[in-house]
Amino acid sequence: MHPKTYKIWHNVSNKQISCRLNGATANLSFSIQVIFMTNNTEISNSDRREFFRVTDHVFIDFSELSDDEKSRLVPIIKNPVHNDDNAIQQRLSSLQTNLNRLIDQINHTDRDIARALRLIDEKVSILAQAVHQQENSTTDREFVETNLSGGGMAFLSANTFAAKATIEIRVEFQSSGSVIHAIANVVGCDKIASAPEDKPYLLRLVFSHMSEIDRNTLVKHTLSRQALELRMQKESSLI
């Protein structure tokens, strides 16, 4: 089966990109290759971060919007109310970044201590997630495996959506508890033969409206996730 190629416009940098879908398995172990097509000879670091992709398990809540609903929601998305919960999440994210940097420094001199600190950090994160999930057990959220970047996301869906449909989406990251709120456009929604029967469609979205705070949170999460994956691979190779 030959890969399908899709061309879309990135709404932030206004650059044309080509998304090549190599296939999908039942557990969403698929690969999306993003190729920049631009007249510029160099791509800025910010553009690279926009399409830096990772696979992660996140909570997702999404629904299709009408034109009227989109018009009402756009100003809310662009200028979110900064409540105490957002402030706490930002502080926790900053602390986590500093902790990861410190552990990496310790790892250069004592790998055993660094590994112990990572295990302690992971244990605290698991306990925090358990408490958070109990507090939000009544909310109608979906926990899914997602291919995620600063520019968009892809995941398996029970329902099909028309191309260019407008989607309101909330994504919560397990590791930090941070929540991003965005409006996205449907790039494609294709039925995958090897996908589970209850979620046969691969829904691919590109973000069209998101606050700068949420976009920074999203990009920081993808970079942190990739750094964690690389670190775990390196540690596994040393065992």
Tens digit of each residue's pLDDT (9 = 90 or more) over 169-190: 999 887 777 889 999 999 999 9
Q: Of 151, 160, 148, 150, whose CA–CA distance to 195 is shortest?
A: 160
Q: Is residue 199 part of a domain?
A: yes
Q: Is residue 103 part of a domain?
A: yes
* Position 6 pLDDT exceeds 80: no
pLDDT band at 195 (very low <50, low <70, confident <90, very high): very high
CATH number at residue 70: 2.40.10.220
Q: What is the mean pLDDT of residues 82-87?
A: 54
- For residue 37, what are the CA distances in angstroms to 15, 40, 104? 7, 9, 36
The answer to whether the pTM exceeds 0.75 is: no
Q: Rounded mean pLDDT of the chain? A: 74
pLDDT band at 219 (very low <50, low <70, confident <90, very high): confident
Structural domain count, the chain:
1
Tell me which of 7 and 215 has the higher pLDDT.
215
* Position 152 pLDDT exceeds 80: yes
Three-state DSSP state, 74: helix
- pLDDT at residue 238, as a whole number: 67
- For residue 91, what are the CA distances in angstroms to 31, 86, 87? 33, 9, 6
Q: Is residue 29 part of a domain?
A: no
- pLDDT at residue 3, as a whole number: 45
- pLDDT at residue 130, as a whole number: 64
Which domain covers residue 105, as residue numbers?
54-238
Q: Is residue 215 part of a domain?
A: yes
Query: What number of residues does the chain have?
Result: 239
Q: Is residue 40 part of a domain?
A: no
Which residues, at least 6 apart from 239, have a Cβ–Cβ distance to it below 8 Å? Answer: none
Tell me which of 236 and 71 has the higher pLDDT.
71
* Position 31 pLDDT exceeds 50: no
Q: Is residue 62 part of a domain?
A: yes
- pLDDT at residue 2, as a whole number: 46
Q: Of 169, 227, 181, 12, whose CA–CA distance to 89 is shortest?
A: 181
Q: Is residue 139 part of a domain?
A: yes
Q: Is residue 140 part of a domain?
A: yes
Tell me which of 84 and 7 has the higher pLDDT.
84
Tokens at 22, concatenated: 């190599």
Spatial strand order of the sheet with 16-21 comes to: 4-9, 16-21, 32-37
